[in-house]
Amino acid sequence: MTESEIPPRPRRMPLRTPRVAEALAAQLRLRILEGDLADGAELPTEPVLLQEYPVSRPSLREAFRILETEGLVVVRRGKRGGTVIKAPAPGSAAYHMGLLLHARATPMRDLAAARNLLEPLCAEHAAGRDDHEAVAVRLRQLNEEAAQVVEDGPAFTGASVRFHEGLVDAAGNETLRVVVGMLESVWSVQERGWARRASDEASYPPVDRRHAVLRAHGAIEKAIGAGDAALAGKLMRAHLEASQLYVASDDAPPVQVLDEYGNPRMDGRD
């Protein structure tokens, strides 16, 4: 074989080592997630961190930017600057979930169907807890708060949302609470927005329908208090199928977590 016939050597894949900023961000990220760096506390100043981690100042600041993009720190600039730790929270996770659903133009009926599948499981788990009677007491309190504002449509919707959020939080299983909690947060924003629009257009359901919601919540709470998981799940499914028809109507817009200006709506404002 002549030199001209020697096949070319295959191109080697480049050997990549993590950049210094990424490696530093990884260490700080782990400390935040494991609680070594507490939520709400300020990171040490740059000089202190530079002594602890032998990196350049630009690498340190790039590590901050990485963590800020991930939502794990908030960098305050100016005279009162500093870097505040922000541990992961359900709200931030729900926001990113909502962005994905928004980007995919997910129909409201699709979101409602997922809620119909998962929230009854939370009711069943709540009824199966050893302290199910205490769970029922808390849900009864939330339902009573909704009854106090039954004449005010948007306020009633907000109180009803808190009942559902309380039920999801009572599921007991941590993973189920987190997953369904994100879903519930996205749904709650859509429902609160619908309530304000319906109120402005004088199309909010009449008071007798609101009392039907209170009765449904009361029945669910009683089933949980009795420890009847099967009944709690059944009642929750029936309630969701009836109540979601308003928010997930045929003419409902797709899931939206940003307003027309591109600002987040995940805080419940429309």
Arithmetic mean of pLDDT, 91-115: 93
pLDDT, tens only, 35-61: 998 999 998 888 999 999 989 999 999
Does residue 96 sit in helix, strand or coil? helix
Q: What percent of the chain has pLDDT over 70?
A: 88
pLDDT digits (tens, 9 = 90+) for 114-129: 999 999 999 999 999 9
pLDDT band of 15, cuts 50, 70, 90: very low
Q: Taking residues 65-72, report their average pLDDT.
A: 90
Sign of the CA dihedral 126, 169, 243, 112? negative
pLDDT digits over 168-182, tens only? Answer: 999 989 999 999 999
75: pLDDT strictly greater than 70: yes
Q: How far is Cα 100 from Cα 265, in angstroms, rounded to an integer? A: 14
Q: Tens digit of pLDDT for each residue in 213-250?
A: 999 999 999 999 999 999 999 999 999 999 988 999 98
pLDDT of residue 258: 76
Q: Is the pLDDT of residue 139 over 90?
A: yes
CA distance 174 to 169: 9
d(CA 130, CA 172): 10
pLDDT over 60 (residue 211): yes
Run of H or E including 212:
helix 207-225
**pLDDT interval class at 260 (50, 70, 90):** low
Does pLDDT of 18 surpass 90?
no
For all residues of the chain together, what is the average pLDDT? 89
pLDDT (average), residues 181-207:
93
Q: Are 258 and 102 in contact (CB under 8 A)?
A: yes
